[in-house]
Chain A
Amino acid sequence: MSAGPRLGIDIGGTFTDFVLVEEGSVLAAKVLTTPHAPEEAVFRGIAALEAERPGFAAEAAGVIHATTLVTNAILTRRGARTGLIATAGFRDVIEMRREVRYDLFDMFIRYPAPLVPRELRLGVRERVLADGSVLEPLQEGDVREAARRFREANVDAVAVCLLHAYANPAHERRIAEILREELPDAELSLSHEVHPEPKEYERSSTTVVDAYVKRLTATYLDRLQHGLRQRGYARPLFMMLSNGGTATADIAKRFPVQIVESGPAAGVEAAIYFGGRLGLSSLLAFDMGGTTAKLCLVEEGRAARTRHFEVDRVHRFKAGSGMPVAVPVYDLLEIGAGGGSIARVDDLGLIRVGPESAGSDPAPACYGLGGVAPTVTDADLALGYLNPDFFLGGDMKLDRARAEAAIAARVAEPAGLDTARAAAGIHAIVNETMAAAGRVYVADKGKSPAALALVVTGGAGPVHAVGLARRLGCRRVVVPPLAGVMSSLGLLAAPIAFERSRPVNRRLAGLDVAAVAQELEALAAEAVALLPPDATPEVRRSADLRYHGQDHALEIPIGGALDATLPEQLAAGFVAAYEALYGKVDDDNPIEIAALRVEARQPQPPPALPAPRAGKPGAPVTTRPAWQHDAARFEETPVYRRETLALHQEIVGPAIVEERESTTVIGPGDILRVHDSGALIIDLATPDREG
């Protein structure tokens, strides 16, 4: 992307975060999210930044955006009234699912309700075979009849998923033409475009989700683009995709299912970027905002990815309990725990926190916006961790009395505790909720938390990171500069990258290397063409290899020369990777190339983050009583301002470090050091004390 300021915008459930990066400077902003019209918060934030950096919008080289809009629309069933056209005889595929139980031992097993009820699932006569040949032509009258019934039922969106449409999309295309005549206002999603791969249930589910959120996504992005143009920004709006890639907003409008995990991906990108700056080989990205917390394992600069993503899971940790969305996403853990998570007392007299969130409306009680339910942020305020006069640098005053009143009324009294102990309970429980989920997630990846540094982003992250790390068994916490808005920075740090791939089924023995070279070149040209015209891309080539007869393939980089040695290079790379992953099994089946891949990436200039000043260590600006979990009482705790800390300064906890967008809390004996990069690196005192 050409020179000029670049803006990252990340809309979360509670706050919308902004980072504006320009040669040598970084500006940040944080405003409350406006769920009824998310673009309003965006324009408010831009206005705030314009006040500090007039004219930036008109000069900007790029705006990159992430949002949780799509997931939220599915969770709250606010999508379009959606119809489904299937091959006649097969309309129940999305409700039959895979006919298997995701939990063998739950006799009361549950599944999410399908997004399209049975009366809006209609069959049309046609049939394509696995090889793409047409067994039975499309009966166009059936399509017009379906359109008539959709019209009567006020359907706004239609998903079309025919058997084997990935092998021959002609019938789906013809249906689209007819529907555009018959239902000109309806949104359409065609399975061969959304997810052109076999397996009818997964493809149908993905296509239905795409149709369901299409109108909502397009309308929102149109309003956003229009507003940006009015503010002088003339270049394309970029969106973060669920796999950390970026694409223009127009692609997101066409395939909204691609941005289903856009928000969480931004936080991961931030951690990857910062992990790279600090040379961390493996880390756990931890993002905690107002509504949810996320954890994601990053190794060697790459986050785990999965194609088995599901939305609307009945059980968060049980694969198979949601609706499959077969797009590549970061394999991260999402937990209903954030600053806005609501605390209550259950029937057994125990304190529960979340997953319900007060969001930005009514918001935590201490925001004074009408919220009366106590939240994690209210507890953090009551415990003295947050400064009521320095939240968002003082732009937003917090009301400690309201926070304490809410905790007293809804938690302390019903649980028979004093307010401080109730607040401490809320803080500890939300940490344990995250740790319990995190332990399973990390174990599931075969990792030990002790070997992972917790890299923290999100407004509530630094307040809870040390407590979480202690419970989880991580020994080190890294709080990057601007952690509170770091995921927006992740949007800017992530390279703009496009991948193009082509399925091929070719044995390595007797491979036509010249043909492969030609195909790679064509793919590279396609991928580079998607980058901005002034890009100077890095191109990465690879091949997916497997034993003939298998489905799953391993991606092997093509580094060497594209000459007669290529089959040997690939075979050697594959056998080594296979054995490293799976051990030695003496397979003698022929090796084949399943797909060729090319990724073109345009690295982004590293954002110039505020460097810590050299010189004498910064002194505490004040002290205030803050709750110490071990002592179970308030103790006078030194409070620092982050911008006054000096390079390599060391602080032994307990201490509080305040900055505009977040607050870092460390416990007794924890040692905080200011790293060259501006990050705070915290080494935990003892691994098994709780906090």
Chain B
Amino acid sequence: MRLDAVSVQVLWNRLVAIVDEAAQGLIRTAYTPSVKEYHDFCCAVFDARADMLAHSTVTTAGFLGIVPEVMRNFLKVFPAETLQPGDVIITNDPWAASGHLIDISVASPIFHRDKLVGFTLCIVHHLDMGGRMSTLESKDMYEEGLKIPIMKLYEAGKLNEAIFAFIRANIRVPEKVLGDLRAQLVANNVCTRGLTAMLAETGLEDLGELGAEITARSERSLRAKIAKLPKGTWRSETLLPPLPVTGEQILIKVALTIADDQVTIDFAGTSGEVRAAVNCTLNMTRSYSAYPIKLALDPDVPNNDGCMRAITILAPEGTAVNSRPPASTWGRTMISHLLPEVIYGALEQVLPEAVLGGNGGCPANEMYLHGRWRDGRSFLAISQHSGGFGGSVRQDGWPTLCFPNNTANIPMEVTEREAPIVYRRKEFVTDSAGPGQFRGGLGQEVEFEVLNADLAGGYVESSVRLNGRSEGGSFPIGGRAGGGAGRGGGLWVNGQPAEHGIYRRLHAGDRLRFTLGGGGGYGDPFARDPAAVLADVREGKVSVAAALRDYGVVVTGGALDLAATRRARGG
């Protein structure tokens, strides 16, 4: 088959379809809601050079910079020429792979007509890898669970049972985790079958030419966009609020340089590693640094290795954005999720239409519940709830929408089947959205209560991690282009303010409540269409008082008072 512009496009679509099918295989054979509902995973296909050609449409931004590196790291230990059909390579090394122990990467070589033509990789955020799990208290990696070095889980089709045995012996819910691990094998099997079928149908010998075309076109596309931008360096920095437990404060500094057709993001000056478990590995920093650039400049090209080549990430070793082993990394999203926001601070100065208001739920919320039933069985449930999306130059932010990661909520009806809790509330928070010509999306309030159940010890271990953006606004959810900040949130246990990011024991009847902020607004709130403000008031999204205070819009008896609005807006 001859490759021309049309056939490259068709086969490229086909590769995306193949990894999407792999993701469906993963979801269908998975055992836990964290895969089936939460979708914190990535399936990808590579050519024989280990260049990533496509990843699943359903995935989260955290994997963008990670996936290509994992495959390269695997091949450093097991060179491509030594691999044989039926090999499966595994690791959860945070530095070689995806930044914390709870993610397991599993890859296989793909052979077609006895020739190595590519690789398939599946990474899943698992439910349990032993250790202290969802707490910022872990001081090093060893507290955080079991580490699986880069090893072969299967060698030429033969299972290395020792690996399963070690995992089984070290975690709380082995049937579920090993079930999900097998689902990763399914994903890779489906990907392998799809790719070899494609090669057989098209008569292509391998992916060499196609892979080179895809990555080169993608690289050219982004470089052409960058070439049109103004040149220069723009800087931004953010001082994070004191971390739970240790009180450490991290400063993130970024210098964004646009030169010719290359973007460089340099984190020089960023704080060093911390004791709290929030340290980022370089791969994780890559993901969330490249993401806002791709989003702003070249969102339509399906992501692949070529998309990363025009972006250089510099992060001094030993900083919180390029930590060294054995730093503790569980809650690395506390830092990595903020990177797009810090980069937007620089980007806004040169491309104000390419940035979003802050996301009220960023860094992402994480909610863990675990314990044991009196009969000895363990339960473990995780969940995530999102804050409001930021306003943009075109539209209001959506309510409760995940950013910059992209994981779905786990239905309450599913979580309530996994753990002995009952949700009491999950509802929008009025006036939480940052005002703007395009306001932010609304944040939410979530409350659950522990049920009177047959629990060993009579308690549930619960950790809820928030983002440190309090209602008082000490770490605001910033607006852009003149828009206002979203209202932050907080955590309360039985009505008392409580620290987030650590475990506490909750007993029957205890209530845990938390709020997630609204998104930052975009543009001058006084430029907002009064009719849009009225619609918000009618829906109870904005109060009458806030309509006047934030937007200069007077609503009386459910109707607009246009004359009074004009006066309030000073015109």
List residues of chain A with CB under 8 Å of any chain B CB: 89-93, 95-96, 98-101, 103-111, 117-119, 127, 129-130, 135, 163-164, 198-202, 439-440, 443-444, 446, 448, 450, 547, 549-552, 581-587, 589
Contacts and interface: CB of A to CB of B under 8 A. Distances in A.
B159 A586 contact: yes
Measured as residues with beta carbon below 8 angstroms from the partner, the interface class of chain B is 35 or more
A89 B398 contact: no
A589 B179 contact: yes
Nearest to A578: B29
A108 B28 contact: no
B398 A549 contact: no
A13 B13 CA distance: 31
B373 to A, nearest CB: 14
B323 interface: no
A583 B402 contact: no
A305 to B, nearest CB: 14
A274 B39 CA distance: 40
B179 A99 contact: no
B29 A198 contact: no
Contact of A446 (B39, B189, B194): B194
29 contacts: A89-B424, A90-B423, A90-B426, A92-B426, A93-B426, A95-B399, A96-B400, A99-B402, A99-B408, A99-B409, A100-B407, A101-B402, A104-B57, A107-B354, A117-B538, A118-B539, A118-B540, A129-B416, A200-B411, A201-B411, A444-B21, A446-B21, A446-B194, A448-B201, A582-B29, A586-B182, A587-B179, A587-B182, A589-B179
Nearest to B14: A443
A686 B332 CA distance: 57
A128 B18 CA distance: 41
B179 A101 contact: no
Given A93-B426, A107-B354, 7 more contacts: A89-B425, A99-B400, A111-B398, A439-B10, A443-B13, A550-B28, A550-B30
Contacts of B411: 198-202
Nearest to A136: B422
Contacts of A552: 27-29
A456 B29 CA distance: 36
A199 B413 contact: yes
Contacts of A581: 25, 190
B4 to A, nearest CB: 10
Interface stretch (B130-138, B218-226, B294-302, B459-467): B294-302
Interface in B187-240: 189-190, 192-194, 197, 201
B20 interface: yes
B445 to A, nearest CB: 9
A440 B538 CA distance: 42
Contacts of A99: 384-386, 400-402, 408-409
Interface in B378-428: 384-386, 392, 394-395, 398-403, 406-409, 411-414, 416-417, 422-428
Contacts of B406: 100-101, 104
A586 B424 CA distance: 41
B538 A119 contact: yes
SS of A interface (majority): loop
B186 interface: yes
Nearest to B157: A584
A104 B451 contact: no
A550 B179 contact: yes
Contacts of A117: 538-539
Interface of B: 10, 13-14, 17-18, 20-21, 25, 27-31, 36, 39, 57, 59-61, 157, 159, 175-176, 179, 182-183, 185-186, 189-190, 192-194, 197, 201, 294-296, 299-300, 303, 354, 356, 384-386, 392, 394-395, 398-403, 406-409, 411-414, 416-417, 422-428, 444, 447, 451, 538-541
Nearest to A89: B425
A90 B444 CA distance: 11
A582 B190 contact: yes
B294 A105 contact: yes
B392 A107 contact: yes
Nearest to A318: B57
A89 B422 CA distance: 12
A129 B29 CA distance: 27
Contacts of B192: 583
A584 B395 CA distance: 48
Nearest to B10: A439
A93 B385 CA distance: 12
A616 B402 CA distance: 69
Contacts of A93: 426
A107 B539 contact: no
A150 B13 CA distance: 48
Contact of A549 (B39, B175, B185, B426): B175
A444 B20 contact: yes
B295 A440 contact: no
Contacts of B59: 104
Nearest to A203: B413
A582 B25 contact: yes
B392 A551 contact: no
A105 B182 contact: no
Nearest to B39: A100
B299 A101 contact: no
Contacts of A549: 31, 175-176, 179
A444 B24 CA distance: 12
Nearest to A579: B189
Contacts of B13: 439-440, 443
Contacts of A89: 423-427, 447
B428 A92 contact: yes
B161 to A, nearest CB: 9
A181 B540 CA distance: 29
The 4 closest A-B pairs by CB, nearest first: A583-B189, A89-B425, A100-B408, A118-B539
Nearest to B385: A99
B268 to A, nearest CB: 27
Contacts of A443: 10, 13-14, 17
B205 to A, nearest CB: 17
Nearest to B55: A104
Contacts of B194: 446
Nearest to A445: B17
Contacts of B541: 118
A127 B10 contact: no
Contacts of B21: 444, 446
A450 B27 CA distance: 30
B427 A105 contact: no
Nearest to B541: A118
A100 B407 CA distance: 6
B401 A585 contact: no
A198 B422 contact: no
Nearest to B445: A89
Contacts of B183: 585
Contact of B299 (A105, A444, A547, A589): A105
